[in-house]
A and B are shown apart, each in its own frame.
Chain A
């Protein structure tokens, strides 16, 4: 059974439409949720969690429809934003004492274990924590109430490379029991290449792809050649960059035979996103 299933999610603002976004995630995996700033990642997540009112679509958490089982679904979710900025003047101890009351299966032993592992001092105030430590604290709270689905909205934004790498290692260890999954929104593609099993890619509110990272990357090729080689074949190109020495273009693998005379190379996530976003 899917831990998360999103069907036809829609939300309309003046100047932006989240258009019929659907994807799903099984237990035991990390899904990267990618797109440029303003593509609709946060809108999708907030609509999923009823933080903003969606205009259409359904969300299921572990098989339960979210709209009809909001409380139970929330028990199974840990939502962590990159800039956890709630109650900055409160101590972690106070926030924990409030939060734990809402969860019947809150595990205090696990809380102590993660606080020690993440080197968190519960007498500190939220404002005294670095961005990375705030994410770790929010993660600790989520893990202690046995959240099955962890949703991170840009958790690595503003973190230094070492902290980011550390966090990604934690992500891998969190899902290692095969019971939990992580949906992880970011525009830092290198983070996904280190840890994501699946990606969901949205652009201007529309779903571009939702599949495993390997097959997604295998669906594209980078081709390069001299400037003249591109002419007449522009319609097969997803995006390209040209300079005095020639061009590099992203094409779909199914069109690779049209570029048999060019140099081809596998495309990575970052290249796919860069050239796809260049399309317009």
Chain B
């Protein structure tokens, strides 16, 4: 697996990945739907898949002494590492944003652990909707991203819409006041930290489970694909 990861980072890491990681600084923009930055990370990963397909990476990988299943796992770990690195950067920029005294975000989720959990959910949607299909048909890597983007934007609209709606709805529905008080704020107090940590843990668990499902589906797809 170490060798497969070396291959991924040596040959399959396009320049878009480090550049798009800079989109994490969107969190410093006042009143912006920060979840969109997660889409850009997935976009960068998509570029790596398109480049890999153009470079005949599936054939190159399968001629190496590795199984099809390990090829998929290597690619998946590569993707997850990029997503986790971006998550660390998002966290750092969120802290910076708070240190700069930036106020609440009226266009979506505040820079918080809740937002980081949201990124994990966006990544899950991308991974599950894109990666198995790539391994089924690497040569249609480009077209499939359009479908994946619809899923991601659909999810982001729901997530950010929920957070935006929480404020006006909190006056009529008590549940939304909990969301507004505990989830959609930068965590400073103990109870808020706990609430957001639980939310983040749930998102992380969903991310982990869906990634396992994604690998299983991708391996199955790759076994029957024509390289």
Residues of A with Cβ closer than 8 Å to B? 46, 49-53, 70-72, 74-75, 79, 85-90, 94-95, 97-99, 101-103
- How far apart sit A71 and B3, CA to CA, in the bound complex (Å)? 14
CB neighbours (8 Å) of B10 from chain A are: 94, 97-98
Pairwise interchain contact B62-A102, C-beta atoms closer than 8 A: no
Min C-beta distance of B70 to chain A, whole Å: 8
CB neighbours (8 Å) of B6 from chain A are: 98, 101
Q: A52-B226, A98-B7 are in contact. Are A86 and B59 (CB under 8 A)?
A: yes
The 0/1 profile, CB within 8 Å of A marked 1, for residues 1-37 of chain B is: 0010011001100000000000000000000000000
Assess whether B57 is interfacial by the CB under 8 Å rule: yes
Min C-beta distance of B24 to chain A, whole Å: 28
CB neighbours (8 Å) of A88 from chain B are: 55
Pairwise interchain contact B224-A49, C-beta atoms closer than 8 A: no
Pairwise interchain contact B66-A102, C-beta atoms closer than 8 A: yes
CB neighbours (8 Å) of A103 from chain B are: 65
Pairwise interchain contact B56-A50, C-beta atoms closer than 8 A: no
Known pairs A86-B56, A99-B64; list 17 more (Cβ under 8 Å): A49-B63, A50-B68, A53-B223, A71-B65, A71-B67, A74-B63, A74-B64, A86-B60, A87-B11, A87-B60, A94-B10, A95-B11, A97-B10, A98-B6, A98-B7, A98-B10, A103-B65
Chain B residue nearest to A94 (CB atoms) is: B10
Contacts between chains A and B (CB distance < 8 A), count? 57
- Please tell me which one of the listed residues A74, A85, A98, A102 contacts residue B56 in the complex, with CB atoms under 8 A apart: A85
- How far apart sit A240 and B6, CA to CA, in the bound complex (Å)? 58
Q: List 23 A-B contacts (CB under 8 A).
A: A46-B226, A49-B62, A49-B63, A51-B226, A51-B227, A52-B226, A53-B224, A70-B67, A75-B65, A86-B59, A87-B57, A87-B60, A88-B55, A89-B55, A90-B11, A94-B11, A95-B11, A97-B10, A98-B6, A98-B7, A101-B3, A101-B6, A102-B65
Pairwise interchain contact B62-A50, C-beta atoms closer than 8 A: yes
Pairwise interchain contact A52-B227, C-beta atoms closer than 8 A: yes
Q: A87-B60, A98-B6, A98-B11 are in contact. Are A71 and B66 (CB under 8 A)?
A: yes
- Secondary structure of the B side of the interface? helix
CB neighbours (8 Å) of B57 from chain A are: 86-87
Q: Which B38-59 residues have a C-beta within 8 angstroms of A?
A: 55-57, 59
Min C-beta distance of A19 to chain B, whole Å: 19
- Please tell me which one of the listed residues A51, A74, A94, A97 contacts residue B65 in the complex, with CB atoms under 8 A apart: A74
CB neighbours (8 Å) of B62 from chain A are: 49-51
CB neighbours (8 Å) of B68 from chain A are: 50
Q: Which 7 A-B pairs have the closest CB atoms?
A: A86-B60, A74-B65, A101-B3, A86-B56, A75-B65, A51-B227, A87-B55
- How far apart sit A46 and B224, CA to CA, in the bound complex (Å)? 12
Min C-beta distance of A44 to chain B, whole Å: 14
- Please tell me which one of the listed residues A50, A89, A102 contacts residue B3 in the complex, with CB atoms under 8 A apart: A102
CB neighbours (8 Å) of A72 from chain B are: 65
CB neighbours (8 Å) of A79 from chain B are: 63
- How far apart sit A75 and B67, CA to CA, in the bound complex (Å)? 11
Chain A residue nearest to B70 (CB atoms) is: A71
Q: Which B182-227 residues have a C-beta within 8 angstroms of A?
A: 223-224, 226-227
Min C-beta distance of B226 to chain A, whole Å: 5
- How far apart sit A279 and B4, CA to CA, in the bound complex (Å)? 49
CB neighbours (8 Å) of A89 from chain B are: 55
Chain B residue nearest to A81 (CB atoms) is: B59
Chain A residue nearest to B58 (CB atoms) is: A51
